[in-house]
Structure formats: structure tokens, C-alpha cells
Amino acid sequence: MGDWLTKKQDQYQLRLQHDKLTVDDQGAIEAKGKDPQTPLAGVPEAEARSRGWGTVSAEFYGEFLDWLDAQLNKPCAESGESRRDNTALTALKQTSS
């Protein structure tokens, strides 16, 4: 294993047999409730799995994927009668101007 730490990406690609690899899609997804959904975006667990969320490290990416989905699919915060962009969308618009 130690010698893999010093190899470059092209060396990995030459050694790995991609046609024999499979990706485990049964990783943890934080989803709770009677009909399990993610805490921020409310994505049903089955939908998150179909999007491939179970193939990435939940510890590193799980919370981020849920946050990102909430930001991109619910871009407006409701405040009484008016609607306004959420904080993430406002910041994104400012960087693209």
C-alpha cells in the first residue's frame, strides 16, 4: 500500500483494471423520518441513492450534497409576502457580475 502513495495519477490508471471494478452505491445517506428524507433539502433517500449520493463518502460529502441541493433547488427564501434570493444565490450572483 505504501508505494501507492507516491504514484502519480497516470500510474494508477495503468495499474487499475477499470473493467473489473465496481462502485459500492450502498454508502450511508443521512435520511430520517417515517419516509426517510435528508435534513436540509428533504430529498427522499431513494432519490438520493438514484443520484449516486451513496457512492461518495458521507463523512466528507453527505452534508455538502444535501446543502447544495437545498441551495440550488430552493433558491428563494420566503419572508411573509415577499420572496428574496437565499444567501448562497445572492453571493453567487455577485461573483458572476
Domain map of the chain by residue range? Answer: 25-96
Average pLDDT on 86-94 reads: 74
In tens, the pLDDT along 15-60 reads: 788 788 888 999 999 999 999 999 999 999 999 999 999 999 999 9
pLDDT value at residue 90: 75
Rg, the chain, Cα only? 19
- Residues 39 and 31: their CA atoms lie apart, in Å, by 7
In tens, the pLDDT along 55-84 reads: 999 999 999 999 889 888 776 655 555 566
pLDDT value at residue 73: 78
How many angstroms from the chain centroid is the CA of residue 6? Answer: 29
- Residues 37 and 45: their CA atoms lie apart, in Å, by 5
pLDDT value at residue 97: 64
pLDDT value at residue 34: 92
pLDDT value at residue 84: 65
pLDDT value at residue 57: 92
